[in-house]
Structure 1
Amino acid sequence: MKKADVFEFFRRLAELNPSPETELEFGNTYQLLVAVVLSAQATDIGVNKATRALFREVKTPAQMLDLGEEKLKAHIKTIGLFNSKAKNVIALSEILVERYGGEVPDDRDALVALPGVGRKTANVVMNCAFGAETFAVDTHIFRVGNRTGLARGKTPRAVEKQLEKNVPAPFRVGAHHWLILHGRYICKARTPECWRCPVVDLCGYRHKVLERTSGKAKSKAGA
């Protein structure tokens, strides 16, 4: 995708959604961290259902330790891999209390060192909590980056590097939100809804679905 097209791509998404946010529900940075850890291989909707009652009771790492692993499991048992996730949440809560005074560090390397926190999770927290220009490449962003030609790469890290290089300054903080939402609701994995896409003319996908039909959507080659 050409530099001018990249700018226009984000300009249009920003015009439609000037203040993009994560769809995870949280009340503070610690709850955000927990929610993102729980969201691995799970949907935001599923995580939100599990954490609403939990977050009414637990707002700090110390309160999570008081709750304990077994009660935490009871709250999140509907989420995939809840046993290992509960262990990680308790372990990272212990570290936050012991090393950081109960606060979430605003440093990516420190975040990645926490149990259950990978680069993607750290990037989400850095962006959503601290306004950092980070790009958390999940399955949606990986698909959208490669499909559109915005940021192609064989691995999430490769796509992240391309985004770091290609996304222009006015859009760097909101970019990963726009891309996630675009992938979640329009540029879908099985059948992209190109017929209602606001950036369809900028996209490099060669098999655009340009017509909505009652049955299977018709696929046409595009530029």
Structure 2
Amino acid sequence: MIDAAARPKRIVLLRHGESAGNIDPGIYEVVPDHALELTERGREQSERAGRELRDLFGTEHVTAFVSPYRRTRETFRLLGLDPERTRIREEPRLREQDWGNIQQLTDMGQQKAARDAYGHFYYRFTHGESGADVYDRVGAFLETMHRDFARHAVRYGPDRNILLVTHGLTMRLFCMRWFHWTVEEFERLSNPGNGETRILLRGPDGRYTLDREFERWK
């Protein structure tokens, strides 16, 4: 186990900017989920997030793990982080919850309604994943991330950052896994907005706290 003070200063979770699927559900009938691009508003959200993150990180080192979906990769590029101080790794385990294949709009609406009734953690899309499946792969990713902590603790020192560019549900499940929230606690929470962050801040004892809570279902 690495020394508490050698753990990264921050773990920043960033949801991608607004994508075409966020404003037009019908696009899922013709474009794969992983191929959806950012809207103009989504690009603006990503650029704004980049300005905030550059101010936050300053001259500190950043290791970025990025979901392989088009919208998350576009979001990362628009952040404009210093390439001399940033390592980037594509991380498929941080992808969106899989629906599976091209969708039919009517079926999507029915499945989302069924998921709301059944529970977002346990409900499994007909050809895709449940929230529990995403939780499991996030748990596997955490093992990789902790090995990264240990590998680079000496090289980059304690004032370094981890950035995860990912999706709303994945962000919630990451925090559920990290903070050992119950399923009931997870179910009460809403996704952050597009281009929003949640930041895990390292305390003097090496433990992390969340900078702000997720909003709750209305």
TM-score bracket relative to the smaller structure: under 0.3
TM-score, normalised to structure 2, is 0.22
TM-score, normalised to structure 1, is 0.22
Q: Which has the larger radius of gyration?
A: 1
Q: Which has the higher strand share?
A: 2
Q: Which has the higher helix share?
A: 1
